[in-house]
Amino acid sequence: MILGSVVDSDVNEKRIAVSLDTVKKCISNGFSVQLEKNFGRNSNIHDSELEKLGTKIVSKEEIYKTSDIIIQINCPNEIEISLIKDGAVLIGSFFPHLNKDKINKLLKKNIKIFSLELLPRITRAQSMDILSSQANLAGYKAVIDSVYEFNRAVPMMMTAAGTITPAKFFIIGAGVAGLQAIATAKRLGGVVSATDVRSASKEQVESLGGKFVFIESSKNLETSGGYAKELDEEDQKKQEQLLKTTIKNQDIVICTALIPGKRAPRIITEEMVKSMKSGSVICDLAVEQGGNSAFSEPGKITVINGVKIIGHKNFPSRISESASILFAKNIFNFLEIIYDKVGKKLKIDENDEIIKAVYINKEIS
């Protein structure tokens, strides 16, 4: 069975979907692996290293036309879809409701599509959870990028010439990305506080050394899947008031709040941005889904009254080597549940709750 992967067509995407480790494991499991030329250039992997493991280096067109299983980061474009052979298996992160037309075209070619961002939040799926592995790195990189743009030292420094006070970090959203941001900011010596609408986040924030700031609500603001719910008008007003008094005293604010399937909630208003000290930094991890902060723009660093608002796209891709290693392992772990190593064939159990969640086999209206 032939397994193939290509360099992503998006110029902003530096990650790859297989690593040296997973190539080795796939070949030992009986796969013939073929990859595009210069496949691992952004992850410091040379074609010669892949070839030593038994990988074939071929053209993108040949990979799509001959591979039984295609692994890639994002949804293929129109030209790529036309090249994929009928009946192939496609595994990656495809966000079907954002790519309806492409998904429907793939289905017309009888492509078996597995989109792993749809994984259920169950223990057995944790090793395949691409959202968590990539969000973890995004939270780390957000702090590193913010500190780079911040024109002061982060930790407290006591010298004969005087004392430098530590930078104050405020993390909005205490999911995977937010918790990693808290941990990273603390390791750098910052004073860290965080907020989340889910009261259950309090213990996690405090366990990492952060101060938890939150609104009191009589409603359950957490979904059954563990995500934050969208706030109603009453709770939005409470949150806005809380943030108004908190944000103006912060040096670095990291925004990580997302609601699955919906536009990112606008949390930081124009007034809040303008209330911050000149030299402060806001990093908006939600910028590609609409943004948590006023003035944030995808792919840009905007400056308002001396406040920098970072809107970098695709934070995991900014540390592509580490992100690729984790993404590739997530994919390989999923591959193991749909591939029979003994019979060297696919075994797709549509009653399995993981398969049921990620398998796209019906057209999207």
Grade residue 226 by pLDDT with cuts at 50, 70 and 90.
Answer: low
Q: What is the pLDDT of residue 224?
A: 53
Topology alike, domains 2-128+320-360 and 150-313:
yes
Neighbours of 243 (CB within 10 A): 21
Instruction: State the DSSP H helix or E strand holding residue 296, giving kind and residue range, or none if neither.
Output: none
Q: Is the pLDDT of residue 217 over 60?
A: no
On whether the CB atoms of residues 169 and 256 are closer than 8 A, the answer is no
How far is CA 283 from its chain centroid?
15
The CATH class of 2-128+320-360 is alpha beta
Q: What is the pLDDT of residue 259?
A: 79
- What end-to-end distance do the CA atoms of the chain give, in Å? 33
pLDDT digits (tens, 9 = 90+) for 142-170: 999 999 999 999 999 999 999 999 999 99
Decide: pTM greater than 0.75: yes
Q: What is the pLDDT of residue 42?
A: 94
pLDDT digits (tens, 9 = 90+) for 88-102: 999 999 999 889 999
Which one has a higher pLDDT value, 254 or 226? 254
Q: What is the DSSP string of 314-344?
A: -GGGGGHHHHHHHHHHHHHHHHHHHEETTTT
Q: Is the pLDDT of residue 28 over 60?
A: yes
Q: What is the DSSP string of 24-55?
A: HHHHHTT-EEEEETTTTGGGT--HHHHHHTT-
Grade residue 219 by pLDDT with cuts at 50, 70 and 90.
Answer: low
Label residue 116 exposed, middle or buried (CB < 10 Å: 0-12, 13-18, 19+): buried
Q: What is the pLDDT of residue 218?
A: 47
pLDDT digits (tens, 9 = 90+) for 288-317: 999 999 999 999 999 999 999 999 999 999
Average pLDDT for residues 106-110, to the nearest whole number? 97
Residues annotated as catalytic are 121, 126, 129, 132, 227
Q: What is the mean pLDDT of the chain?
A: 93
To which CATH superfamily is domain 150-313 assigned? Answer: NAD(P)-binding Rossmann-like Domain (3.40.50.720)
pLDDT digits (tens, 9 = 90+) for 185-195: 999 999 999 99
Determine phi and psi for 162, rounding to 5 degrees.
Answer: 135, 180
Q: What is the pLDDT of residue 234?
A: 75
Which one has a higher pLDDT value, 45 or 198? 45
Grade residue 184 by pLDDT with cuts at 50, 70 and 90.
Answer: very high
Give the angle 210-217-185 at the CA atoms, nearest 5°: 15
* Per-domain residue ranges of the chain: 2-128+320-360, 150-313
**Sole residue written with tokens 């009928």:** 86
Q: State how far the alpha carbon of 262 is from the alpha carbons of 94, 167, 268, 328, in Å.
A: 16, 33, 17, 27
Average pLDDT for residues 328-355, to the nearest whole number? 93
Average pLDDT for residues 54-62, to the nearest whole number? 98
Portion of the chain with pLDDT greater than 90, in percent: 85
